[in-house]
Amino acid sequence: MSEYILEMKDICKSFPGVKALDHVSLQLKPGHVHSLMGENGAGKSTLMKCLFGIYKKDEGQIIYDGEEVTISDPFDALQKGIAMVHQELMPIRDRSIAENIYCGRYPVKKIGPIKVIDHEKMNSDAQALLDDLGLGFKATEKLGTLTASQMQLVEIAKAVSADAKIIILDEPTSSLTLKEVDKLFEIIRRLTAKGCGVIYISHKMDEILQISDEVTIMRDGQYIGTWPSDELTTEFIIAKEVGRELKDLYPPKINTPGETIFEVKDFDSVLDNSFKDCSFSVRKGEIFGVAGLVGAQRTELMEAIYGLRGITSGTVYYNGQTLKIKNPEDAINNGIALITEDRRGNGIFGVLSISDNVAVASLNDYLLFRVMLDHKKIGEVVDKSIQELSIKTPSAKTQIKNLSGGNQQKVIISRWLAKEPEVLIMDEPTRGIDVGAKYEIYSIIGRLASEGKTIIVVSSEMPELIGICDRIMVMCEGRITGIVEGEDMNQEKIMELSTKFMG
């Protein structure tokens, strides 16, 4: 027997207009964590989907457990002992956690000649699994009662319960808190101790260096190489991913904040356990960061300002004038835009083209004779966005759901750039985005601010906020615990404020 549990050799896969995989190889040893890295659209998810039977590979071999196999569909993959946690979650919110874990392979019992689902066994098994993994959820609870990051943990529990020999984790930590990431790593270590092989996809360097044994890097659908992780440095990975030297992670500052222009006063949520007494003000041309741990209610506050959530009190002022914002339409008409955190949920229009996805918020800016859309002008705007943000796509007519996660995010950013808002709120703008594209997005943020736009960036990545912001506001459990600038903009100070009310 070979030393590998899985070998993928010379895998090729094309979609109309794109060669997503071009002779890519990957070798996984049992008990190892093998990380897969590469820019957005490099083909990481596609390679894994070929392994999991979602896509059919055009060419190449998959050798699993010493034998060449063909995997026809995900069910087949699970039967063979391959489990996958997807980049885009597919939770069934209205069913219990236990049902989500055992979906499609419910335990059954016999009542006479009829097979029925054994709910008791399912619930107790699920509970045992959750307890074993140290996740404090009740198995009978509806999945929808959990937060996004908790759902992700359930999804991971589901993969573990499949008793697989290979587990694929496609960007599992994109919405996890630091504590939850530790939990996940603990789970991974237990799996590998049992001899299970883990394929791990992430854009977060520190995680990769911490957890993996080997790292394979891809670029534009091509295999670049595989290295043991203790030989790697962040700089080396970035250079291989991007294909060139990337000197700094953050562009030089070019904006100079002016007078205070955007004010938020006394925001109180209709919900008891959400934000309370929130007031802050931002200057013209300022990049204003909002830090805090997941659950600090930053998203909720921003969405309330934008008219998406109910408030019992709260006023927004721009240039000294009170803005009446009842819904997003009002906010947009007053020059405020929000890039939401939940890309799939309320960001993209999956079945629509990139062009429609970019133009949707600014349709009234492209009118001919006041009624008719100027398709030529829209086309120009869209082409410009594709170029400026280097969105990887065969054409502007491609459905957005066919783009890689990071490229979808860039399309949404283009949507709001096209609208040219005065105040742009960005909630986790670089989630799931590769280093090169992050740099591009930071540059855009800097450019907008230098043009006198007001930018608010919500992020869970402290280094990112410190790297680009003029000031950072910190929240904890729904309240603003402080605003730091200058010398005080450091991890320790921010961490201290983020946990102010925690035991």
Ligand X SMILES: Nc1ncnc2c1ncn2[C@@H]1O[C@H](COP(=O)(O)OP(=O)(O)OP(=O)(O)O)[C@@H](O)[C@H]1O
Stretch that binds ligand X, among 61-69, 127-135, 276-284, 404-412 (CB under 6 A): 404-412
For 224-287, the three-class secondary structure string (H helix, E strand, C coil) is EEEEEHHHCCHHHHHHHHHCCCCCCCCCCCCCCCCCEEEEEEEEEECCCCCCCCEEEEEECCCE
| Residue from 108, 116, 117, 367 in contact with another protein (CB under 8 A) | 367
**Helix 178-193 / helix 148-161 crossing angle, nearest 10 deg:** 0
DSSP assignment letter at 401: G
Structure-block tokens of residue 114: 């009829």
In the set 43, 221, 335, 347, which binds another protein (CB under 8 A)?
347
DSSP string covering 411-452, please? Answer: HHHHHHHHH--SEEEEESTTTT--HHHHHHHHHHHHHHHHTT
Handedness of CA 43, 48, 54, 58 (dihedral sign): positive
* Residue 45 makes contact with Mg ion by CB under 5 A: yes
What mask, x for binding another protein by CB under 8 A, covers residues 325 to 344? --xxx-xxx----x-x----
Cα–Cα dist 488/142, whole Å: 43
**Out of ligand X, another protein, Mg ion, none, which partner does residue 38 contact, by CB within 5 to 8 A per kind?**
ligand X
- Does residue 224 belong to the site contacting another protein (CB under 8 A)? no
Least CB distance to Mg ion at residue 404 (A) = 5
Is residue 442 within 8 Å of 365, Cβ to Cβ?
no
Site for ligand X in 333-392 (CB under 6 A): 392
Structure tokens at 78: 């699970």
- One character per residue 29-48, x = contact with ligand X (rule: CB under 6 A): ---------x-xxxxxxx--
436 interacts with ligand X by CB under 6 A: no
Determine the Cα–Cα distance for residues 298 and 465; give it in Å rounded to an integer: 14
Residue 429 found at the interface with another protein (CB under 8 A): no
CA distances from 452 to 7, 250, 302, 420, 486 (A): 53, 20, 21, 11, 21
**Contact string 389-428 vs another protein (x = CB under 8 A):** --------------------------x-------------
409 makes contact with Mg ion (CB under 5 A): no
Q: Name which of another protein, Mg ion, ligand X, none residue 46 binds, using a CB cut-off of 5 to 8 Å depending on partner kind.
A: ligand X
Show the binding pattern over residues 43-82: x = contacts ligand X (CB under 6 A), - = does not: xxxx------------------------------------
User: Contact 28/6 with Cβ under 8 angstroms?
Assistant: yes
Cβ nearer to another protein, comparing 55 with 185: 55
List 198's β-bridge partners, or say none: 33, 167
| Helices and strands counted in the chain (H then E) | 17, 24
**Per CB under 6 A, 406 contacts ligand X:** yes
- Tell whether residue 54 is a contact of another protein (CB under 8 A): yes
Residue numbers of the site for Mg ion (CB under 5 A)?
45, 87, 405
What residue ranges bind another protein (CB under 8 A)? 54-56, 306, 308, 327-329, 331-333, 338, 340, 345-352, 356, 359-361, 363-364, 367, 371-373, 375, 415
Q: Which residues bind ligand X (CB under 6 A)?
A: 15, 18, 20, 38, 40-46, 87, 392, 402-406
